[in-house]
Structure 1
Amino acid sequence: MCAPDNGSEVTEFILVGFPGPAGFHAGLLALFSLAYALTVTENALIVAVIRVSPALHKPMYVFLGHLSFLELWYVSVTEPKMLLGLAAPRFRRISFAGCMAQLYFFLALACTECALLGVMAYDRYVAICRPLRYPVVMSGRLCRLLAAGSWLSGFSVSLGKVFFISRLGYCGPNVMNHFFCDVSPLLNLACSDMSRAELVDFLLALLVLLGPLLLTVLSYGAIVSAVLRARSAAGRRKAFSTCAAHLAVVLVFYSASLFIYARPRAIYSFDFNKLVSVVYTVLTPLLNPIIYCLRNREVKDALRKAAGRAAWALGARS
């Protein structure tokens, strides 16, 4: 076994990706390429519309803009490499430094998303439970601080976690049963004392995930209590409808994340883990803009107005 402080003897990893014949890989390549293109287009459109629409310059949409901007980069950390690996086997190789960089940015963006989802839950809590104080509490300055704090905390916490993983000994084999560099496959390849490594990783995952999750649960607990006390059935429906989209995103994101990262040991096979990873790296970023926009009248109105302005500008130019 190698000692962690002797440096890594493995200079590159080989990502297994998705086993199967060439025809299966071609089908996955087409499917994931379409999903990636749609995800980038959707999120870029939301960021642009929120930026140019004065009606959407509200805390809720400011945080939604940050979330969409984040997911533009979130999918770009893992999916291009996955698509190249499906296109040709030679692209399944990744250097040790490249693997650690991919892991860092993936974890940093995922941790930032955790924090943003917690902040968005708090925003909904203030809007529903403290409506008269909402403009004062959720001031522009506080929104900027909460957004900046989410990004800073995500990138800071992940730095320590990736440094710890990079210091583990990797003596070989270097074949990673995954489609990107993730925590569990790397720990599985490390030749250090894995009982200590898995315990530290488990505790760090709990710290990263459960803090924002606790804020989200407490916020929604207060929201449900306030809504149930409301006298008007129409008021209850309106309050729940404003939270339904965010709650759906939270449930999908945390269900997959807690399953993958907040377990002290791998209960299921890595092939099953890869399937769950597809949910939060490909499917969730694709569906999030649809969930938010289809259930939100203000965003749809802003999209229609922006499309109308763009069509008028193109017509005037031609």
Structure 2
Amino acid sequence: MKVILIVLAVVAVIMIVLGMIAKQKSEKYYKYSNPVGEIEKQYTPMGSYKVAKLEITSGDQQIGRFVIYYPEAVEDSKEKYPVVLWANGTGSKSKTYTPFLKHLSSWGFIVVSNDDENTRTGASLNAGIDMLMAENEKSDSKLYQRIDLDRIGIGGHSQGGPAVFNMAFVQPHADMIKTVYAVSATSSYHTRTFENGWEYDISKVHVPTLLTAGTGSFDAGTAESPDQKSDEKAGIMQGICPLWSLQENFNLLPDDIDKAYFRKKGVDHGDSYLQFDAYMTAWFR
């Protein structure tokens, strides 16, 4: 009996240690990214700004709350800081992206997220801009007159891809968006199937746009065109953001804007936003 208790105690300690290691790797993911190349080596580490946090309750139940990460220097500065608003993937809330959002803010951005788990229409991004406009005019706000509303970028993961595309041309504040970033954006194959606000027309996005995705099975799938239906027996799977989708969206974007797309080997859908973090940061910079 004594031996069994000792074994259980040892197992418990091991589990606690493993949990602590996992938490450490999650919170400081950038230290475990093994950066390669000039861009990754420059932008994978944390930036030079210490990051502060502000939460604002939304009147919209779907949005829940806005979570804002911003350079602490904002509070004592006379400068205005650029903004990035983030659109969550399906079923995700702000806390899913916490370390990632803090990392972006450390590079000098006011970063706005929320708890909308169904971001596709871009409405919660638009509401975030409304909130920022209000905060910028509140004399008792820590962000009073420190938000550069002329430099607003938007980024999104998975369902957040349709969200940023729709924000950039459908929503009321579309004309305030200066650049778009989408990682593993849901393809037109899926958006046509889902309907109900998933659809987007990326050809109407007229600001610089960066598109990224991984080559992993969930992101890339095996289908080579939007015309192929997923068929498990035939070995055909429509990934969330396959190569054909990146090419389709790139080609539909106007030719008179800066635009780019690329994939990264060995990266799949679940953590693609982390794997492209350095490139996203460089793009917004």
Kindly indicate whether structure 1 or structure 2 has the higher relative contact order, using CA contacts under 8 Å at least 6 residues apart.
Answer: 1
Name whichever structure is richer in helix by fraction: 1
Name whichever structure is richer in strand by fraction: 2
**TM-score, normalization by structure 2:** 0.29
**TM-score, normalization by structure 1:** 0.27
Q: Which has the larger radius of gyration?
A: 1
